Amino acid sequence: MKAYLSVFRMRFRLETHYRGAALGGIACQVFFGLILVALYRALYAGKPQSMPLSHVTTYVWLQQAFFRMLLASDADLMDKIRSGGIAYDLCRPLHLYGFYYVRIMAQKLMGSLLRAGPMLLFAALLPEGWGIALPASVPALILSLAALTLGLCCICAMENLTMAFTMRTLDQRGIQAMMNLLMMILSGNVLPLTLYPDSWQRIITLLPYAQMLDAPIRLYTGETAVPQAPAILLLQAGWTLLLVGAGCLFWQRNQRRLIIQGG
Amino acid sequence: MNTLKLYLRSMGILLKCQMQYPLSFMLQTLAQLIMEGGEMLAVILLVDRFDHLNQWNAGDLYFFFGLMSVTFYLTECFGRGITGNFPYMVRTGQLDLLLTHPRGILTQVMCSAVDPRRISCIAVGTVSLVLGSRMAEVRWSPQNILLFAESVFCGFWLVLGLFLIEAVLCIHSVKSVEIANALTYGGRSACQYPVDVFPRPLRMLFTVIAPFALVMHVPASVILGKPVFGWPAWAAWISPLSGFAVFGFMVFLFSRSMRFYRSAGS
Amino acid sequence: MSYIQVRDLCKRFYVRKKRSSESFLREKETIQALADVSFDIDRGELIGYIGPNGAGKSTTVKILSGIMTPDSGEVRVGSQIPWKDRKSYVKHIGVVFGQRMQLWWDVPILDSYSLLKDIYRIPEDAYRKRLSELSEALNLGDLLRTPLRQMSLGQRMRSELCGSLLHRPEILFLDEPTIGLDAVSKLALRDFLKWENQEHRTTILLTTHDMEDIAALCSRVMVLGHGRKLYDGQLQDLLRRYDRRRTVEIRYDRSGCIPVLPASVTMQREGDGFRLAYQPETLPTAELLALLQQAGSIREMTVQPQNIDYLIAEMYREMGL
């Protein structure tokens, strides 16, 4: 337990150390947010939709604020897998899956917390129709925070599984790039999932990618009403458990294979 | 002409290098296809939901998207040395080696990398262009073809010039180079839509500072028969040249900065 | 007037110190990489440039090869100033960094060479002639059709050398060329450098930590420390200055014999014999020999000068590095 905590602490120190780079990242993300909001405003001006514009702008800002959560960014770990340095980790007295899970989570949590704060503040200060709207209600806010937490767990499980999977493949960079792209498209980063055709949405929202940011954002805007929340949270928890289970199994196999092959 | 020959020969060798790993190349090309396909899907879905964007209908929007994507990824493909590898070269001291050769630095950086995986992005862009020009019923007269070629060609230098901002920041060992991405990748994301959909500050930014509007949107809108800004048609022949202006200015800044270059390592 | 003239060369670096976790301020620290360094090198010399890590060796090489501009001081190579008009200057120099490769990784080195031919604008027949000369001297032969990636470190270094000599530079800068090489490769490399130096009167400036390289190749050495030139002259003179001790290995007929020696001599057992170190200045060799013979009849004995690395370490210590 102590080892896991120190992973978090180390990551936090690292993130604060690179705050110069973080500021650049925030500025860039804000710029992207502004472009997207401007675009959707122009589109709405031509043909208003049943879903209010403020939902879309809120969606955009929340996506931008938590962008770091989606991004598979543990380059260290990828390098380790590629170079075979991962064999060292096998010698450590740790549960391999758990150790990487915490590592990924620390990175995503600390990275996005530091960035989300200033960005959401900026978005809140923007004029009406440009920035982020208040949550639909207090219960909606609480539920969306719970969903965000579950979403984070789900994302980490997903990335860990990808990592385990890429260890098996011949070309890790190719696979990794493709997984990342699927994530960007199906999680609503390229285009809010709420703007996909309604018939597509019925399927896409069931996929694990939608559980990460889309589900919490919909709860926040009130797109998903409070009575439907338990079903959403259950779906998120289900995917998380499934992905964690698959990941554990995969790592166990990898570990056995590594030991047999001698790295 | 000797410089061009050197560039072409370098490209040959680099391609030979890349083809040593065919599987990796194919997978990464496929990944690029999914990426750009996803971007195009977003435009299609937006058109499906909203029909039109200001005065622009589906065909126009596909045309603008295709123009941007072809231009941007041609640059990423053939200008990879500047758009991708330069920070790495500074960090590892590879730039030192180039400095000991009797050739221009930018020439050598350009000759140091190519990214043929972008071919799939360019393909997506081309499909979008063809689709768009069919739907918008573009007449491909020799004039229009020439104007289009000018736009892509000048766009290449514009994008290259914008990526030089990152290179200059790198030489001065600035850490937060992501700022530069706002103009390059941000510019691509924004200006795959015609510039007049954006509010005034953004429009100014993409006309005066990073003139995507002058280089791409003005000629494209003339080809589509709906000139933006109410400018006369002949203006479309002149405005793309601003891409060269940006590139020239950045080359000037770059060569000034190289005086402050402090090589890495001991 | 000598070929390379360096006068009062200075270069400072500013490094940002790592911030402590409490302080929000960045501290700037100045490092004097070079302080008033002056020297002259004649055409055709083969010079060793030594000093501990961080002494300013690489900085000198970077300035001399036109990569870096000094803060102050003058440098003239032939009739040119390296950092003015870089392109016309670097035509006349060749540079090999031991840890950086200029050849392409995945293609046969012949392809890389022909690209270098284009970069340096070497005429076709001159290129052919030079390549066949170099590939014979460096024993490249079949390697020309092999990609760098499939070569051993020694082969790679030979290929790199060939690449940086194709345009017949007048000066060759070598930054730790023998790092990580095995004994055979090292010897081959040294032979080649000697050959190139004598055959073409190529001026060679060699920075290295390998004293064997220096001893085998260079008659003249320069020692640099903390950005200052500390010594410039014959290697033998330098060594003689610090070479005060001799090592003796001795074995007696019977293993029970133990010599009785003054305290100035250090002695330790080694196998069934002894290893002694003494200074001929305080204890003349004849006296030592007499003392050793008193202990018993000597079966075998060798007297050696000290290991060269040990000498250099001694020298650095005395110079306060």
Give the CA diameter of chain A: 63
Q: Residue B126, CB half-sphere, CA atoms under 13 Å: how many?
A: 8
Tokens of C274: 């002894």
B175 touching chain C per CB within 8 A = no
| Band of residue A262 on the pLDDT scale cut at 50, 70, 90 | very low
Range B64-84 average pLDDT: 94
In which residue are the tokens 């081959």 written?
A: C188
The token pair that represents A247 in the structure block: 């990941």
d(CA C262, CA C192): 48
Mean pLDDT estimate for chain A = 84
Helix (H) or strand (E) holding C207: strand C203-207
Contact between C305 and C243 (Cβ < 8 Å): yes
Residue spans of the domains in chain B: they are: 28-260
Q: Are the beta carbons of B46 and A190 separated by less than 8 Å?
A: no
Angle at C308 between CA C302 and CA C313, to 5 degrees: 130
Gap from B21 CA to chain A (nearest CA, Å):
10
* Mutate which: C118, C149, C165, C179, vs B, most B CBs within 10 A: C118
Nearest C-alpha neighbor of C71 from the set C79, C80, C61, C83: C83
Helix ranges restricted to H, chain C: 57-64, 86-90, 109-120, 124-137, 153-165, 183-200, 211-217, 235-242, 285-294, 308-318
Residue pLDDT, tens place only, B119-172: 999 999 999 999 999 999 998 999 999 999 999 999 999 999 999 999 998 888
Question: Do A42 and A65 form a contact (C-beta atoms < 8 A)?
Answer: no
Q: What is the pLDDT of residues B1-35, one digit of tens each?
A: 588 889 999 999 888 888 888 887 888 888 889 88
Scored b (16 or more CB within 10 A) or e, A200-213 reads eeeebbeebbbbbb
Partner residue facing A46 (CB), from B53, B186, B189: B53
Q: Is the pLDDT of residue A93 over 70?
A: no
pLDDT in the model for residue B176: 64
User: Do residues B24 and A173 make contact, with C-beta atoms less than 8 angstroms apart?
Assistant: yes
User: Rounded to an integer, what distance in angstroms lies between the CA atom of residue C313 and that of residue C50?
Assistant: 12
Higher-scoring residue by pLDDT: A62, C255 = A62
- Write the residue in A181, A195, A196 that is nearest to B34 by C-beta: A181
Closest CA to B233 of B248, B243, B220, B246: B220
Residue-by-residue DSSP string for chain A: -HHHHHHHHHHHHHHHHTHHHHHHHHHHHHHHHHHHHHHHHHHHHHS--SS-HHHHHHHHHHHHHTHHHHS---HHHHHHHHHTTHHHHHTSSS-HHHHHHHHHHHHHHHHHHHHHHHHHHHHHHSPTTTSPPPPS-HHHHHHHHHHHHHHHHHHHHHHHHHHHHHHHSS-HHHHHHHHHHHHHHHTTSSS-GGGS-HHHHHHHTTSHHHHHTHHHHHHHHTSS-GGGHHHHHHHHHHHHHHHHHHHHHHHHHHHHHHHHHT-
- Alpha-carbon span A131 to A140, nearest angstrom: 19
Q: What is the mean pLDDT of residues B201-227?
A: 93
Residues of A in contact with B179 (CB under 8 A): 24, 27-28
* Each residue's pLDDT tens digit, B76-125: 999 998 888 888 888 888 888 888 999 989 999 999 988 898 999 999 99
Burial B109-137 (b: 16+ CB within 10 A, else e): bbbbbbbbbbebbbbbbebbbebbbebbe
**How high is the ipTM of this complex?**
0.90
The fraction of chain A above a pLDDT of 90, given in percent, is: 32
DSSP state of C32: E
pLDDT, one tens digit per residue, over A101-130 is: 888 888 888 888 888 889 999 999 998 889
CB contact under 8 A, B102 and C118: no
User: C64 to each of A134, C91, C218, how far by Cα in Å?
Assistant: 64, 13, 19
- Give, for all 321 residues of chain C, the pLDDT tens digit: 789 999 999 998 877 655 554 445 556 678 888 989 999 999 999 999 988 887 888 889 989 998 888 889 999 998 899 988 888 999 999 999 877 888 888 889 999 999 999 999 999 999 999 999 999 999 888 899 998 888 888 899 999 999 999 999 999 999 888 888 888 888 989 999 999 999 999 999 999 888 888 888 988 999 888 888 888 998 888 877 777 778 888 888 887 788 888 888 888 888 888 888 888 888 888 888 888 888 888 888 888 777 777 777 777 787 776
* Strand pairing class (C4-16; C28-41): antiparallel
DSSP B178: H
- Tell me how close the Cα of B251 comes to any Cα of chain C, in angstroms: 17
Task: Taking residues A210-226, report their average pLDDT.
Answer: 90
What's the CA gap between A23 and A42, in Å, rounded?
Answer: 29
Say whether pLDDT at A87 is over 80.
no
Tokens of A108: 């995503």
How far lies B186's CA from each of B202, B218, C165, in Å? 11, 19, 45
Smallest Cβ–Cβ distance between B50 and the set A46, A182, A184 belongs to: A46
What value does the mean pLDDT take over residues B62-84?
A: 94
Residue B216, class by beta-carbon neighbours within 10 Å (0-12 exposed, 13-18 middle, 19+ buried)?
Answer: buried
Other C-beta atoms closer than 10 Å to the C-beta of A139 total 12
Chain C residues near any Cβ of chain B (below 8 Å):
13, 53-54, 58, 62, 65-69, 86-88, 90-91, 93-95, 97, 100, 102, 104-107, 111-112, 114-115, 118-121, 147
CB contact under 8 A, B13 and C67: no
Q: What are phi and psi of B217, to 5 degrees?
A: -75, -35
* Chain B stretch 151-180, residues whose beta carbon is closer than 8 A to a beta carbon of chain A: 175-179
DSSP 8-class letter at C18: P
For an interface test with B, give the residue of C58, C86, C205 to mutate (most B CBs within 10 A): C86
Comparing A25 with C165, which gets the higher pLDDT?
A: C165
B204 touches chain A (CB under 8 A): no
Q: Which chains touch B (3 or more CB pairs under 8 A)?
A: A, C
Given the DSSP bridges, would you call strands B52-53 and C298-305 parallel, antiparallel or unpaired?
unpaired
